[in-house]
Structure 1
Amino acid sequence: MKKLLFAALAATALTAQTAAPKPAVPVKLMRLDCGTVAANDLDQFSDTRAYVGQSKRLTASCYLIKHGDAYMLWDTGLPAAMKGKPIDPKAPMDATVTATLVEQLAAVGIKPEQISMIGISHYHFDHIGQAAAFPGATLLIGKGDFDALKAGEPGTSKVPLAPWIDGTAKSVPVSGDKDVFGDGSVTMLDLPGHTPGHHGLLVHLAGMGNVLLSGDVAHFRENYDSDGVPGFNTNRADSIAAIERFKGLAKNLKATVIIQHDPRDIAKLPAFPNWAD
């Protein structure tokens, strides 16, 4: 009896080893320009007064992910109404938009109704500004952020995400990490601290390998390198833990790190309208 059992197990193992692997669903990643931010008072990004008297131009980045025939947006940038807005050099922080998401998608032949999912790193206005252009998409957002939006907590606005907050459109509040497509290719990473439900995104590409999109775990390289915490983060201890986890993932996965607000990281991905794959 034992011999028969061992023989059956051996045959099963051999079949598993020799069977053709299931073909992976092709995944591609494209960076979209979602605006420019003038941080005229850069010290807002430090609760230790690290950047007194400094300023920096930052970028607002969004990302298009193609998983087989499905399209997902990661973040939706500054509001479309800011298109062409002059930047006020005297404001502590100001922003403008050159081209809307819908315009950029049209340039690559994609209609708003083809976007099936929107993943949101967090509830700040420069990451949710153009979400309403895709009311048919399912919204993926950290549960902590979703709850804060529903409660109307300070620093939140329901308006850009109104169809999902009021239940008109489908939403998926995400607790912890989430394997978006169920195959390990795209994972929302639980990185709270900047906001209660803040997430980053891990994308695995066949050619380029692992790519880590930061959300706002850090806003620029100096901030990232020094584990800097902006004074407006909702939880300092969680922020430090999140950036520690993010750096650990980057090291262990040998990932390309894209700090979404740092213009110097844009060149790590092909220029629009080209795909990374």
Structure 2
Amino acid sequence: MKMHVLNGGRLRMKSRIYVPDAERDETIELPVAAHLFRHPSGNVLFDTGCHPSVETDAEARWGSLARVMNYIGQPEVNVVSGLAEIGLQPDDIDLVVNSHFHPDHCGCNGFFRKASFICHEAELASAKATDAAAQGYLAAEWDHPMPIETVTGSRDIFGDNRLVTIPLPGHTPGMMGMCAALEKTGDVLLVSDAVSLRRNLDRDEVPRNAWNADDLVNSYEEVRRIEQAGAMVICGHDAAQWQNLRKGVDAYE
């Protein structure tokens, strides 16, 4: 099995959302990632990044969220174009696992018309709630005709313990990570926004955009447990870590 790290865009936000002692006007740049797994039983995407249209008119797609998440990604750099660079089209994707349904993590969902989708039961419920838009859920990003299967705990995707979802609530009610067992690299834990920045985990910092602080701190403990067992943790938006990851055709095995 191979893991390809794909560029899903880039955001600029207020640093104080993630860094408690940051100056009021300080900003932080946040890479957006998706991960492709080429498993013998199918091609699996973990998250799908930002929709390509936000490059030119983020407010048309995201509404008022575009004033909080300022899109600054490179032109024509998104998950679909990243797949094309490694010889795949959207119809080649068999399964999409969404960590959660915020726009920078499920923006390209609609392109994968032949795929099935997996998310946590609590996440789908939150995305359908009456106050969903106020919580950052936009139906245009996640509500598509493709089948969505919900899970309540961990899910072994192909029954061989090589791709396993991990509940990591706190950032959202149904936030999920995924642990991948790679032959050469070893275990890799994708934590998405359960740990947006590595410093949040190291310092037990709770970002201001967390849904539930207690749940998030408990999820930090689960991440540490898996890391201490030998897994490499890939955070959701850590720019320093992103710079050092292999990307695109340069896969982890």
- TM-score of the aligned structures, taking structure 2 as reference length: 0.88
Q: CA deviation at 1:195?
A: 0.4
Cα distance in 1, alignment partners of residues 214 and 55 from structure 2 = 36
Cα distance in 2, alignment partners of residues 85 and 161 from structure 1 = 19
1:76-115 deviation digits (Å, cap 9, x = unpaired)? 11121023679xxxx6541133312222211211111110
Cα distance in 2, alignment partners of residues 94 and 132 from structure 1 = 22
Q: CA deviation at 1:160?
A: 1.3
- Which amino acid in structure 2 is aligned with residue 124 of structure 1? H
Cα distance in 1, alignment partners of residues 119 and 21 from structure 2 = 31
Query: Structure 1 stretches of 5 or more lacking a match?
Result: 1-26
1:33-77 deviation digits (Å, cap 9, x = unpaired)? 0111112x211125xx33234322110011101101510111111
Secondary structure at the residue paired with 1:217? helix
- Which amino acid in structure 2 is aligned with residue 76 of structure 1? T
Question: Does 2:172 align with 1:201?
Answer: no
Question: Does 2:215 align with 1:215?
Answer: no
Per the alignment, residue 79 of structure 1 pairs with 51
Question: Does 2:140 align with 1:162?
Answer: no
- Which amino acid in structure 2 is aligned with residue 129 of structure 1? G
Q: For the structure 1 residues 268 and 69, does the alpha-carbon distance in structure 2 shift closer, same or farther, using more than 3 Å as the test?
A: farther
Query: Structure 2 stretches of 5 or more lacking a match?
Result: 59-66
Per the alignment, residue 2 of structure 2 pairs with 28
Secondary structure at the residue paired with 2:210? coil
Cα distance in 2, alignment partners of residues 268 and 189 from structure 1 = 24
Q: How does 1:35-46 map to 2 (within 5 A)?
A: 35-39=9-13, 41-45=14-18
Question: Does 2:94 align with 1:96?
Answer: no
Q: CA deviation at 1:29?
A: 0.2
Backbone CA RMSD of aligned residues: 1.8
1:137-185 deviation digits (Å, cap 9, x = unpaired)? 111111111111123423211111221xxxx321111111111111100
Could you tell me which of 149, 153, 166 is aligned with 2:127?
149
Question: Does 2:19 align with 1:51?
Answer: no
Conserved in 2, the CA contact under 8 Å of 1:85 and 1:97?
Answer: no
Q: CA deviation at 1:198?
A: 0.2
Conserved in 1, the CA contact under 8 Å of 2:41 and 2:158?
Answer: no
- Which amino acid in structure 2 is aligned with residue 74 of structure 1? F
Secondary structure at the residue paired with 1:243? helix
Could you tell me which of 158, 168, 175 is aligned with 1:181?
158
- Which amino acid in structure 2 is aligned with residue 224 of structure 1? L
Cα distance in 2, alignment partners of residues 35 and 234 from structure 1 = 23
- Which amino acid in structure 1 is aligned with residue 161 of structure 2? G
Conserved in 1, the CA contact under 8 Å of 2:55 and 2:71?
Answer: no
Cα distance in 1, alignment partners of residues 15 and 162 from structure 2 = 35
Cα distance in 2, alignment partners of residues 263 and 77 from structure 1 = 15
Conserved in 2, the CA contact under 8 Å of 1:142 and 1:199?
Answer: yes
Question: Does 2:117 align with 1:136?
Answer: no
1:206-253 deviation digits (Å, cap 9, x = unpaired)? 00000111110121122221111122211111011011111111112x
Residues matched between the structures, number: 239
- Bigger Rg, structure 1 or 2: 1
Q: For the structure 1 residues 69 and 83, does the alpha-carbon distance in structure 2 shift closer, same or farther, using more than 3 Å as the test?
A: farther
Conserved in 2, the CA contact under 8 Å of 1:142 and 1:174?
Answer: yes
